[in-house]
Amino acid sequence: MNRTRLARVLTALLMILLLFTATVSAEETAVAPTATRDPNAVPYDYDHPERLLPEQIVAHAFVLMELETGDILMQRGADEEMYPASTTKIMTALLTLEDCEMTAAAEGVTLDEVLNRRITISESAVDIPADASKAGLRAGDSITILDALYGMMLESGNDAANALAEYVSGSQEKFVDYMNDAAGAFGLTNTHFMNPHGYHDPDHYISALDMAAISKAAMRKPIFRKIVSTLNYTISSGVRNALNLYNSNRLIDPGANTYYYRYATGVKTGTHSMADHTLVAAAEKDGVTLLAVLLFTNEYSRWADAKWLFEYGFTQYTSLTPEQIYNKDPYTIQATSFSLSDEGMGELTLAIEAVDPNETARITGPNADVQLLMESYRSYTTIQWTRGRQPRAPIYQGEVLGVMTFYTPDGEASKYNLIAPRDIAARTDAPLTLEEIEELARTDPLPLPPFSWDWITPPAIAFVAMTFAMRSVVRWVRNARRDARQIPKPKRRTYR
């Protein structure tokens, strides 16, 4: 090789090197910075979680929602368009489950039957970038829809997300259109999807508030809640080798040391360079269910962010059942005609029991609102007594003495039996109560015993005898007065 050719080769290599360096530099400058906490934020007070401040949260955009009411307890940047990363898969799971529910209804079969139907993994489903998260599926695998849901939500498999998208809509592109149509139907104004899994695209974004709305809808589905709260799952059928899936949400992992949160119930993590780390998490305590959406936070702070928000929320909201509210101030009634040996002197504090145990009602809201309702709950109730407000003994333990209807502030009605907690024996010589006399008069206003000469003859004889006696007395008096008039009276004389 002569010097001219060598110079040309070296020049070409140098240009390639410079081009490569420029490309790397361009990629590095495109990488978003790591999220950090506000350096001016006061330290978090673990002893007083109710004092949490928004600036103590690392996430650039976040929302804390109470799921029962949909109330927002704390937020920052809630309407900003952010990259969701793999939390996108919550929408994919929601739409897949809704499609399965519609199929089950149309065919008259159960949801479980539809979820256990098999889908074949296509070449396009596993055609994903090398750095994308995978469930480990291969083209030709035959797995159930339920398996694919677990693979997508636990292992965050983009391959599983693609497979579900193709099952629901026939292609990934059509499913993306479905996602955006659904976002519009939800009223989400700061959301746009480009794929079913969240792999980065500049036009793939969502706001924290929109993500909270999607997650709230998904959490209403029992099968979704079961999936996202599962730590481990194995796909053993229809694949070359068993796939052991592990949930990346450390909040639900007891082995995750300080990251574990005992009240956590799900739901989904996400990460890529432009989104940093994202998290949608849920937790339930004493009937209060909270949802935290964290967008653009870092790998470790997202767990603390979520726990601090949950601890704050649980100090702000209360959830009680009508039974719990009633038991704070139960109804007490006074029985009548009770045995004088009764230790409670006929007084009963009634127990309560739902007429339909399958119907559950809760009153959830800010502490002050629930406290006010507790203090005035009787104004939200009506009672239909089965034996009157003051039932007559005997009364037997377990006897239903009335039905109370509890009306929640949002207008829902729940019925509860009012039950005698103990026996009350009756007096053997107890007189009728005024209430019983009134009831007797109402049901039989002129009660007459059956006719019998045995009870009418003696009073009749006595009446006749008394009549004759009175006539004899009257006659004697008249005769005495007549005789007195016939005797002459002496004249009055005057002596001088």
Task: Output the pLDDT for position 362.
Answer: 86
Question: Residue 144 has which token pair?
Answer: 């159930």
Distance of CA 129 to the CA centre of its chain: 41
Q: What is the reported pTM? A: 0.76
Instruction: Name the residue with tokens 């059942």.
Output: 321
Confidence check: pLDDT of 24 > 70: no
pLDDT (tens digit per residue) in 413-431: 899 999 999 999 998 876 6
Cβ burial, residue 260 (10 Å; 0-12/13-18/19+): middle
Ordered by start, the domain boundaries in the chain are: 39-317, 323-443
How many angstroms separate the CA atoms of 87 and 361, rounded? 31
Task: Identify whether the C-beta of residue 294 lies closer than 8 Å to the C-beta of residue 306.
Answer: yes
**Residue 473 confidence (pLDDT) above 80:** no
Active site residues: 86, 89, 156
Task: For residue 483, give Cα distances in angstroms to 128, 473, 486, 488.
Answer: 143, 16, 5, 11
User: What CA–CA distance (Å, rounded) separates 267 from 65?
Assistant: 14
In this prediction, residue 23 has a pLDDT band, given cuts at 50, 70 and 90, of very low
The mean pLDDT value for 5-12 works out to 52
Q: Give the CA angle between residues 160, 165, 168 to the nearest 5°.
A: 125
pLDDT in tens, 360-398: 788 899 999 999 988 888 888 999 999 887 888 999 999
List helix spans (H) across 170-241: 172-186, 208-219, 222-228
Handedness of CA 376, 381, 386, 388 (dihedral sign): positive
The architecture CATH gives domain 39-317: 3-Layer(aba) Sandwich (3.40)
Tell which residue, 336, 359, 305, has the closest CA to residue 439: 336
Question: Tens of pLDDT along 329-363?
Answer: 999 999 988 988 888 899 999 999 999 888 778 88
Q: What is the pLDDT of residues 197-249, one digit of tens each?
A: 999 999 999 999 999 999 999 999 999 999 999 999 999 999 999 999 999 99
Region of 287 (left: φ > 0; alpha: ψ -120 to 50; beta: rest) is left
> Using one digit for the tens of pLDDT, what is the confidence trace for 180-204?
999 999 999 999 999 999 999 999 9
Burial class (CB in 10 A: 0-12, 13-18, 19+), 121: buried
State which H helix or E strand residue 313 sits in.
Answer: helix 301-316
Torsion angle defined by CA atoms of residues 129, 130, 136 and 138, in that order, rounded to the nearest 10 degrees: 60
